């Protein structure tokens, strides 16, 4: 029995070694170096013997604009061995004719750095359609035997697909976030051949139409449209997310999302299929979504109702030291983490007194948009100096009140940190350090006597008489001056 176990363990170790030896191969392929204005340049990332799990954004190319991606996968069985390939292709459309340079670049694919040497791409005039030269456009055997080519008939196949504009919530509190998603769903049983058409141009118009004016927006910025398997009402679909954003209402007006349209290329299939003939014909079909409405509810009564942030938050604070001496500075980080509109979180309420000198904070934030929600971290970095010895609970100085929409209650974030201050009081030193000005400087040298205002009247009378005599003398001198 022990021998059998040893043999099984040996076989398992060998199998693991064989599996590790078959490592995935990742490569980057570039499109042709000479294209027309109506053709696309492509960059393709291919993973052999592995799954395409993650990859960087494709590079920007001067003179080109990104226009959607496409993905493919294949599995081959050769001599009893199985090999698989997955790839993602980024399409670039030229904006003008000329010669352009794609510099060398590096992409991280499945946590591996893959280098590409780059390429020069020449864009010429639009290429004319060469359907008569396409061997799949007509049946050469019909010309060979002198038969007249019959006009092909095409049939339209119903697409088992739909366009959906959905929200994850139908009603929200004022300031509470909800996620809007525009997706195209294709059933697993769909037999119609379709592909996206001028998606970037259409999406620009769709976003203008659906973006509400009374909301703060956090756009998820979908750069690559990928396929995601989902199950709806027990039926399997492939979901293609086209647009996604989180919105936070700024007032009580209901949020109405109208129906939007998306046009796709849909191919009609030849009624009489031939080996060399054109077996499909390009056509267009427009898919429309249903309108959506989100109701906004007011927050419950509270003294800070008009200014509190809304979300699910928690506090994670840090201090440079919990034992200090008076006059010794410290740094304190009030860190707010959670789900909600991170940008709308205001400064915590600061209770000021003479025991501490606390200065306005430096602020930094980090916002994450993913998994159909907006999360993030906002840090308030304070600089302070203690003036009085003693033990202090920072919860008595810093606090942030917010509204939790899940529990529908107001809550307050307060730190639990306690700091111990040693040393002598610095309050008197601060008073002595202040310069009160020259008026206060002469107080010790003046007499502490009450002085009446009548004592200065005689001086004023003498001064007025002197001024009057000067005026009379001046007038007499002018009048006696010979003409």
Residue 245 in this model has a pLDDT that exceeds 80: yes
Least confident of 71-80, 294-303, 426-435: 71-80
Structure tokens at 471: 């005026």
User: Mean per-residue pLDDT for 28-37?
Assistant: 90
* Nearest-angstrom CA–CA distance, 293 and 113: 45
The torsion angle over the Cα atoms of residues 69, 75, 78 and 80, rounded to 10 degrees, is 160
Mean pLDDT highest for which of 363-367, 368-372, 479-483? Answer: 363-367
Which residue, 335, 336, 332, is CA-closest to 402?
336
Residue 75 in this model has a pLDDT that exceeds 70: no
First to last CA, the chain: 150
User: Mean per-residue pLDDT for 117-134?
Assistant: 72
The more confident residue out of 317 and 38 is 317
Q: How many CA atoms lie within 13 A of 38 on its CB side?
A: 5
What's the predicted TM-score (pTM) here?
Answer: 0.59
Coil, strand or helix: which one is 351?
A: coil
Which residue, 220, 326, 241, 210, is CA-closest to 69?
241
Whether the Cβ atoms of residue 252 and residue 296 lie closer than 8 Å to each other: yes
Task: State the pLDDT at residue 292.
Answer: 96
Task: State the pLDDT at residue 116.
Answer: 92
Q: How confident is the model at residue 281 (pLDDT cuts 50, 70, 90)?
A: confident
Give the torsion sign (CA, 144, 145, 150, 154): negative
- Nearest 5°: phi and psi at 79? 55, 40
Residue 15 in this model has a pLDDT that exceeds 50: no
The more confident residue out of 359 and 270 is 359
Residue 426 in this model has a pLDDT that exceeds 60: yes
Q: What is the pLDDT of residues 324-335, one digit of tens each?
A: 999 999 999 999
Exposure string for 316-344, b = 16+ CB within 10 A, e = fewer: ebebeeeebebeeebebbbebbbbbbbeb
Task: State the pLDDT at residue 79.
Answer: 38
Task: State the pLDDT at residue 251.
Answer: 95
User: Would strands 349-350 and 398-404 be described as parallel, antiparallel, or unpaired?
Assistant: antiparallel
Topology of the domain covering 311-432: Immunoglobulin-like (2.60.40)
Task: State the pLDDT at residue 134.
Answer: 40
Q: What is the pLDDT of residues 154-206, one digit of tens each?
A: 788 899 999 999 999 999 999 999 999 999 999 998 988 888 888 889 999 99
Residue 277 in this model has a pLDDT that exceeds 80: no
Least confident of 55-64, 130-139, 277-286, 350-359: 130-139
* Nearest-angstrom CA–CA distance, 25 and 240: 27
Task: State the pLDDT at residue 222.
Answer: 87
Whether the Cβ atoms of residue 26 and residue 54 lie closer than 8 Å to each other: no
User: Would strands 235-249 and 255-257 be described as parallel, antiparallel, or unpaired?
Assistant: unpaired
CA angle centred on 110, ends 49 and 376, rounded to 5°: 150
* Nearest-angstrom CA–CA distance, 300 and 409: 8
CATH no. of 22-125: 2.60.40
Residue 293 in this model has a pLDDT that exceeds 90: yes
Share of the chain above pLDDT 70, in %: 78
Task: State the pLDDT at residue 133.
Answer: 39
Give the torsion sign (CA, 174, 175, 176, 181): positive
Task: State the pLDDT at residue 18.
Answer: 40
Q: How confident is the model at residue 375 (pLDDT cuts 50, 70, 90)?
A: very high
Residue 24 in this model has a pLDDT that exceeds 90: no
Which residue, 99, 123, 98, is CA-closest to 36?
123
Residue 255 in this model has a pLDDT that exceeds 80: yes
Task: State the pLDDT at residue 104.
Answer: 93
Task: State the pLDDT at residue 14.
Answer: 46
User: Mean per-residue pLDDT for 264-287?
Assistant: 78
Computed over every residue of the chain, the mean pLDDT equals 83
Residue 20 in this model has a pLDDT that exceeds 50: no
User: Mean per-residue pLDDT for 339-360?
Assistant: 93
Q: What is the pLDDT of residues 302-345, one digit of tens each?
A: 999 999 999 999 999 999 999 999 999 999 999 999 999 999 99
Structure tokens at 218: 């956090």
């Amino acid at each position: 029995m022990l021998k059998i176990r040893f043999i099984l363990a040996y076989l398992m170790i060998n199998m693991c070694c064989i599996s590790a030896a078959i490592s995935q191969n990742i490569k980057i392929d570039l499109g042709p170096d000479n294209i027309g204005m109506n053709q696309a340049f492509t960059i393709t990332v291919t993973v052999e013997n592995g799954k395409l799990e993650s990859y960087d954004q494709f590079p920007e190319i001067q003179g080109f604009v990104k226009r959607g991606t496409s993905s493919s996968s294949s599995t081959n069985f050769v001599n009893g061995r199985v090999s698989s390939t997955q790839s993602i292709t980024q399409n670039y459309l030229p904006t003008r004719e000329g010669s352009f340079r794609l510099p060398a670049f590096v992409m991280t694919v499945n946590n591996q750095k893959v280098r590409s040497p780059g390429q020069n791409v020449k864009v010429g005039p639009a290429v004319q359609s060469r359907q008569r030269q396409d061997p799949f456009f007509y049946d050469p055997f019909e010309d060979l035997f002198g038969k007249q080519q019959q006009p092909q008939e095409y049939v339209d196949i119903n697409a088992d697909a739909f366009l959906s504009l959905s929200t994850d919530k139908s009603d929200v509190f004022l300031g509470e976030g909800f996620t809007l998603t525009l997706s195209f769903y294709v059933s697993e049983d769909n037999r119609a051949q379709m592909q996206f058409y001028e998606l970037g141009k259409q999406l620009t118009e769709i976003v203008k139409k659906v973006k509400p004016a009374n909301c703060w927006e956090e756009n998820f910025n979908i750069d690559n449209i990928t396929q995601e398997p989902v199950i709806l009402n027990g039926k399997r679909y492939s979901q293609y997310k086209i647009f996604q954003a989180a919105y936070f209402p700024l007032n009580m007006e209901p949020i109405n999302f109208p129906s939007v349209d998306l046009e796709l290329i849909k191919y009609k299939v030849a009624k009489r299929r031939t080996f060399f003939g054109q077996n499909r014909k390009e056509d267009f079909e427009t898919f429309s979504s249903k309108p959506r409405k989100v109701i906004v509810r007011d927050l419950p009564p509270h003294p800070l109702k008009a200014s509190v942030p809304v979300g699910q938050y928690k506090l994670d604070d840090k201090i440079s030291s919990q034992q200090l001496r008076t006059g010794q500075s410290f740094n304190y980080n009030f860190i707010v983490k959670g789900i909600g509109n991170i940008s709308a979180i205001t400064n915590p309420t600061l209770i000021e007194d003479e025991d501490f000198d606390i200065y306005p904070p430096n602020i930094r934030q980090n916002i994450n948009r993913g998994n159909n929600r907006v999360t993030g971290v906002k840090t308030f970095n304070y600089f302070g100096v203690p003036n009085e010895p003693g033990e202090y609970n920072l919860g008595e100085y810093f606090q942030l009140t917010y509204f939790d929409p899940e529990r529908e209650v107001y809550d307050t974030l307060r730190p639990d940190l306690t700091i111990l201050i040693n040393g002598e009081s610095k309050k008197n030193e601060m008073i002595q350090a202040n310069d009160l000005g020259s008026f206060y400087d002469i107080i010790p040298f003046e007499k502490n006597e009450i002085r009446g205002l009548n004592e200065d009247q005689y001086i004023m009378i003498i001064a007025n008489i002197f001024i009057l005599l000067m005026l009379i003398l001046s007038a007499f001198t002018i009048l006696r001056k010979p003409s």
